[in-house]
Amino acid sequence: MSLLLGEGLGSQGELSFTLGPATLTALVVAGVLAWLLAWWTGRQAPSGWLRRGELLCWALALGVLVFALAGPVWTEEEGRIEEGRLVVLVDGSASMAVRESGEARAEQVEEILALLGPDVDLYSFDEELRPGAPTSYTGRGSDLGLAISTLADRYLGQELRGVVLISDGIDRGPLSEDLQAARESGGDLDGLLPPLGGPLTVYQVGGEQRIRDSAVEDVLSGGFAFLRTDVSLRAVVRGQPGATLEVSLSREGRVVESKPVLLDAEGRGEVGFTVRPVRVGRFAYEVSIPVEEDDAVPGNNRFPVVLRVVRDRVRVLQVSGSPSYDTSSLRLFLKEDPSVDLVSFFILRTQEDMMSGWSSEELSLIAFPYERLFSEELQTFDLVIFQNFDYRPYFSWGSESLLENIATYVEEGGAFVMTGGDRSFDLGQYAGTPLSRVLPVQLGATGPTSDETPFRPVLTPAGRAHPLTRQGATDAETDAIWQRLPEMDGYNIVAGLAPDSATLLAHPSATVGGAPAPILAVREHGRGRSMALMVDSSWRWSFSEAAEGRGNQAYLRFWKNALRWLMADPEDQRVTVSPSRENVLVGEELRIVVRARDAGYLPLEGERIVGTILSPAGETTPFELDTDASGEAVVLFQGQEQGAHRVEARLSSSSTIRGESVFAVTDRDPELVELEARPQLLRDLAAAAGDASGYRGPGDRSGPLLDADAGRERLDRRVRSLSAVPLVGLLFGLLASAAWWMRRRAGAR
């Protein structure tokens, strides 16, 4: 019978069709219509037994064909009890790769898996659960609670033969804290784990002996520091109890200071370093200890930290040659700003006063300490303002040297402002002095050096984009504010704009060399910045606005913007370098955005950016990119060397317009901060699962706890198609042949 029906067809089963009811009905109707067509075409033939037999055979053959086309299947189901599964969880975190006595903890995993046999459901976990054995032990955090909860959800409602956990017990999730709190409070551990469906066995790997590992565990810095203010960096180190470690502080690869620290009975110690930043920006420091030959994890012997240096207060030196509304207004603004430390000199005693016969006791003015200010104390100021000040009556000797000091101060990162008046610029005889080389305007004008005709300054396109002259939230609002400000009383005439400078406010009609005469100009020279305001009546921006009920916000906003820009905050540079993160792991991709702007702070599109990334070992990674429409270029970098990396970028057209930043690359893994195996946690875990005997200590290769009665009923379902069985083809062939034979016997074709 199997030759006709095929193999595997049992007597206990159910017949069904794969075609839907509608399709099956259509197929039957088609078969009936085919038979009727055959009857209709042969209705003139004699109606003997041969004709009736032919029609019967065709009807049966069509029935067999319809049956085959309907997709008949024979379905049999048989129930059986299947043994419960043994589920195995393997810790795949980096701590499993730590070596003890020359052997990695992970090497013990294969031994335990061989004990359990091949018929297991195997999973690995670190910060998440995944099927299969660990491909590498590099996970950056092990979360036992998450792994067990995920497993419980996956096998919810099933009876398991057992659950096996292979781990060193180092857990970064909240479960370890919950178990410890419950144990220390004497509470019940039950309920801290979800139902697992079977007994839990915990195999501990590692922990047979103390690991020899020295590490810098943490560096406490606060993340930022104030300029020229001492900041403390405290390092927490770990090593062998009673040992002395030499702890070094480095800044961008150069050792700043080293100190010995004696470790306590627990193998821990602290050491402090004091640094005084002299520049604003981001700076990378690193605390390190020597790497011993048998150190288990050399990567945690270094701890980089990026420190952001900001200004606590801006120290300003204001020097004025005569009292005026302009002087008093600016002095009042600076004194009322809590972020400004102001040193102001005006109504000064000149050499003529000293030589006129008056004694010092008879003079109410103190002597101007210009020698000390512009030599010894100059570097203590962030900004120097010459407000309608002519140096010749006050500098009795060494004027060339003192002005050179100021010029050098700007070139090395300082800020300088000169405002207009009858003692400034060419009227103050600054042409040809060292100070003239750092100003944003050229001195030595031929012809008149001042014009006292009132005028209203005009905002230039560069001024509309520059942060110094930005008055409103939009360009239209900024334009409207500048257009309604009052007229100035006149201005100082200069020979033109200096190289690499920008005019932010211009005269509405006067020109110099074919360009609008500059009224407000700015410049970046060397590492510093300078500003020239060619008028001495900016105080009117305050008084006139207040008279019209708008307050003095335009005046205040102008000088606040000026202070911020002159201080050269890293975010206000023409070229800025912004790493997406300050600390990255070895091999991780870092996105570095370089932004370029012109002298007026408009985005530079299509500008060639040339830069390098300097590694701690001194190796450079050069890059060259063109900026997009927003003035940005993006560098992608993967650091392979631990330590501080410095990024420097500049415009290809200028060697001085540049920006820089730092970031730290580390192979410090949070999973490797604490390396000691945690047997107590694993014992608590077994107890919380319901049977404390499920804990297997280091080297214990006893079999796991198993539930022999665990299992589930499983239905084996077998489906066999009847369309292709030999009987269907045989019946159709026999019936069709019989119909054809009868037709021929009846004399039909």
Q: Tell me how far apart the alpha carbons of residues 562 and 418 are, in angstroms, rounded to a whole number.
A: 12
**Cα angle vertex 582, ends 218, 142, to 5°?**
55
Homologous superfamily of the 215-311 domain (CATH) = Immunoglobulins (2.60.40.10)
Rounded average pLDDT per 10-residue block, the chain, 749 residues: 53 70 62 61 58 71 72 72 87 85 84 92 91 85 89 89 92 86 80 88 82 82 74 88 91 86 90 84 85 78 81 84 88 86 73 50 54 84 91 77 92 92 92 94 92 94 88 84 90 93 94 93 90 93 64 83 81 82 81 85 88 88 92 90 86 84 77 78 90 91 89 69 70 73 67
Give the pLDDT of residue 80.
64
Domain ranges of the chain: 2-79+718-745, 85-205+681-709, 215-311, 314-566, 572-666
Q: Which residues pair with 257 in a beta bridge?
A: 249
Within 10 A of 586 (CB to CB), how many other CB atoms are there?
15
Q: Which CATH class is domain 85-205+681-709?
A: alpha beta
H helix or E strand, kind and range, residue 540: helix 540-547
Residues 244 and 263 sit within 8 Å (Cβ to Cβ): yes
H helix or E strand, kind and range, residue 406: helix 399-411
Give the pLDDT of residue 3.
45
Give the pLDDT of residue 713.
64
Contacts of the segment 478-484: beta carbons below 8 A, 24+ positions apart: 481/554, 482/457, 482/458, 483/456
Q: How far separated are the first and last CA of the chain, in Å rounded?
A: 37
Q: Tell me how far apart the alpha carbons of residues 205 and 548 are, in angstroms, rounded to a whole number.
A: 81
Give the pLDDT of residue 22.
65
Q: What is the CATH number of domain 572-666?
A: 2.60.40.1930
Q: Tell me how far apart the alpha carbons of residues 344 and 330 are, in angstroms, rounded to a whole number.
A: 10
Residues 641 and 635 sit within 8 Å (Cβ to Cβ): no
Same fold? 215-311, 314-566 = no
Cα 666 to Cα 286, 300, 518, 584: the distances in Å are 10, 9, 50, 6
Residues 424 and 392 sit within 8 Å (Cβ to Cβ): no
Q: Tell me how far apart the alpha carbons of residues 287 and 275 are, in angstroms, rounded to a whole number.
A: 13
Q: What is the CATH number of domain 314-566?
A: 3.40.50.880
Give the pLDDT of residue 279.
74
pTM over 0.75: no
Within 10 A of 554 (CB to CB), how many other CB atoms are there?
20
In the chain, DSSP finds a helix count (H) and a strand count (E) of 16, 39
3-class DSSP state for residue 412?
coil
Give the pLDDT of residue 743.
67
Residues 17 and 71 sit within 8 Å (Cβ to Cβ): yes
Within 10 A of 146 (CB to CB), how many other CB atoms are there?
20
